[in-house]
């Protein structure tokens, strides 16, 4: 079915956009950077910037998609005033999603592997856990390729169903399922003495731990967690019904995304504190520290580990679907490809590069795919975090704040926001958001 004909239902859009926003950043990255940067003060900065920057840009991207009703390139071209049609090139942010998928799908494959070892036996010591992860990461490229392929196939099957039968139907099932899992884990964690410590750690700010670096990371994560600047939200908004309330939908997506991150943090820190773990283990928190803690619970721990990694897989896959859909829609709309052809070629492209990513971190092959001191994995991740996503966010802010006619923007939002809130939001889009993203990009490039 043509994407311009198929439309989301209201709840279908909210859950699908939530699926786009909710990803591994919520369940993996948010808890570990919260742990590294001291807890409550970091979380407070994160929540404030979600409201002031993240939600503002999210709504702005929805405005472009809703008014354009086409793929990202065509939406920019359609909405740009006469003489400024070169803005269509801003739409090529849609290919950022495919760049992300070259390594994101690999990480989803790791999660599938950890679901497997939840059945076969969890590591009982930190050294064992490190050995398992290091072996997967550096010495088992072909196993990684198999799990990477599983991720690619799942995403492709969903996309072949289109907006209604594929994306919306999948998110109507998976997002409530994800919430059910996380809330179940939260209720279980509430029985631990460590839960009280987790609540205190996350919500009692200790500003002595709030360094400049922590602020930068909090602001950066608040922006990136909502999948802004890669065309996913814009593409989904193009399939919205005519009279949709973008303000309400944007706030709901931001709320759901934040809620899931906070629940994941509470669950993980409750387990850590209960069993004497420390929260500052960085990226290894989920793949090294938690499996050992789950193992201490015996058979029950294996079940909890399976459910936890299943939640991670669901979050990763719903986000992955949204990363590929913009390029599929572009190939359909602009090149007039059939959907099946667009899905197959998009999937094949990021699968093949993903295989190279796997070899770039594998002993015996990485020398061929290392650039300077960075593996292909690192190069692609760095280009997304430091350049492609910030560029996309800035282009969205400038386009909505300065290029689109104000009366068009007001027509989409004023009746739902009210004049006072609209003025605050418009000021944020014109001044606060672009400056904040430039600041983040500058600091990322200094690293």
Does 195 score more than 90 pLDDT?
yes
**pLDDT of the residue at 2:** 44
Gap between the Cα atoms of 167 and 189, Å rounded: 32
Write down the pLDDT at residue 4.
45
Whether residue 1 is predicted with pLDDT greater than 50 in this model: the reply is no
Distance CA 266, CA 393 (A): 30
Of the candidates 7, 422, 54, which has an alpha carbon nearest to the alpha carbon of residue 225?
54
Mean pLDDT of the chain: 90
In the predicted structure, residue 345 carries a pLDDT above the cut 90:
yes
- Beta partners for residue 370, in sequence order: 375
The pLDDT assigned to 51 comes to 86
Residue 283's pLDDT is 67
Percentage of the chain exceeding pLDDT 70: 97
Query: What integer pLDDT is reported at residue 3 of this predicted model?
Result: 43
CATH of domain 10-446: 1.20.1740.10
Residue 81 has pLDDT above 70, yes or no: yes
| pLDDT band with cut points at 50, 70 and 90 for residue 68 | very high
> How would you class 10 by CB atoms within 10 Å of its CB: exposed for 0-12, middle for 13-18, buried for 19 or more?
middle
289: which residues sit within 8 A by CB, 6+ positions away? 126, 129, 272, 277, 281
Residue 371 is inside which H or E element, if any?
A: strand 370-371
Question: Residue 318 to residues 101, 104, 176, 229, 410: CA-CA distances in angstroms?
Answer: 12, 12, 12, 17, 31
Alpha-carbon span 297 to 181, nearest angstrom? 18
Listed in sequence order, the residues at least 6 apart from 422 whose beta carbon sits closer than 8 Å to its beta carbon are 410, 413, 414
Cα separation, 265 vs 290, whole angstroms = 12
Positive or negative torsion for Cα 34, 35, 36, 40 = positive
Domain borders along the chain are 10-446
- Give the helix/strand (H/E) hosting 331: helix 298-333
Tell me how crowded residue 438 is: count the other CB atoms within 10 A of its CB.
14
Q: Average pLDDT for residues 24-49, to the nearest whole number?
A: 87
- Taking CA atoms, 37 is separated from 143, 226, 264, in Å, by 34, 21, 17
| Pairwise CA distance, residues 319 & 348, whole Å | 18
Cα separations in angstroms, 27 against 13, 36, 43, 150, 303: 22, 15, 14, 21, 18
Give yes or no for residue 9 having a pLDDT over 50: yes
Which pLDDT does position 5 carry in this prediction? 54
For residue range 213-262, list pLDDT tens digits in order: 888 888 778 777 888 889 999 999 999 888 889 999 999 999 999 999 99
Cα distance between residue 391 and residue 437, in whole Å: 8
Are 62 and 250 in contact by the 8 Å Cβ rule? The answer is yes
Closest CA to 102 of 305, 360, 287: 360
Q: Return the closest-CA partner of residue 97 out of 315, 254, 433, 321.
A: 321
Q: How deeply is 178 buried, as exposed, middle or buried, from its count of CB atoms within 10 A (0-12, 13-18, 19+)?
A: buried
Residue 341 in tokens? 């052809």
């Amino acid at each position: 079915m043509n994407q311009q004909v198929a439309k989301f239902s209201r709840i279908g859009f909210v859950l699908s956009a939530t699926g786009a926003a909710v990803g591994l950043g919520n369940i993996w990255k948010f808890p570990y950077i919260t742990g590294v940067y001291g807890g409550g003060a970091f979380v407070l900065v994160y929540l404030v910037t979600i409201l002031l920057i993240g939600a503002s840009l999210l709504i702005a991207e929805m405005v472009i998609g809703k008014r354009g009703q086409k793929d990202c390139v065509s939406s920019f071209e359609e909405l740009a005033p006469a003489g400024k049609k070169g803005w269509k090139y801003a739409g090529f942010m849609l290919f950022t999603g495919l760049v992300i998928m070259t390594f994101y799908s690999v990480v989803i494959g790791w999660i599938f592997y950890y679901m497997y070892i939840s059945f076969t036996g969890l590591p009982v010591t930190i050294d064992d856990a490190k050995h398992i992860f290091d072996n997967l990461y550096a010495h088992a490229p072909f196993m990684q390729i198999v799990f990477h392929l599983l991720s690619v196939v799942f995403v492709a099957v969903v996309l072949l169903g289109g907006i209604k039968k594929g994306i919306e139907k999948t998110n109507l099932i998976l997002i409530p399922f994800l919430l059910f899992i996380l809330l179940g884990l939260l209720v279980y964690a509430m029985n631990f003495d460590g839960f009280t410590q987790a609540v205190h750690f996350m919500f009692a700010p200790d500003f002595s731990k709030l360094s400049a670096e922590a602020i930068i990371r909090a602001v950066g994560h608040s922006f990136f967690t909502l999948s802004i600047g890669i065309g996913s939200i814009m593409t989904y908004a193009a399939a919205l019904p005519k009279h949709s309330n973008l303000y309400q939908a944007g706030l709901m997506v931001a709320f759901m995304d934040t809620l899931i991150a906070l629940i994941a943090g509470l669950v993980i820190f409750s387990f850590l504190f209960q069993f004497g773990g420390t929260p500052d283990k960085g990226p290894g928190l989920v793949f090294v520290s938690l499996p050992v803690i789950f193992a201490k619970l015996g058979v029950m721990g294996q079940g909890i580990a399976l459910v936890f990694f299943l939640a991670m897989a669901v979050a990763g896959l719903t986000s992955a679907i949204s990363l590929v859909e913009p390029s599929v829609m572009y190939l359909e709309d602009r090149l007039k490809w059939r959907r099946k052809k667009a899905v197959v070629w998009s999937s094949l492209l990021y699968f093949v590069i993903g295989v190279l990513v796997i070899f770039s971190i594998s002993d015996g092959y990485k020398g061929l795919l290392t650039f300077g001191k960075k593996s292909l994995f690192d190069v692609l991740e760095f280009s997304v975090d430091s350049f492609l996503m910030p560029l996309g966010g800035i282009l969205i802010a400038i386009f909505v704040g300065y290029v689109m006619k104000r009366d068009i923007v007001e027509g989409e939002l004023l009746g739902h926001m009210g004049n006072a809130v609209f003025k605050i939001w418009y000021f944020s889009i014109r001044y606060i958001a672009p400056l904040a993203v430039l600041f983040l990009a500058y600091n990322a490039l200094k690293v």
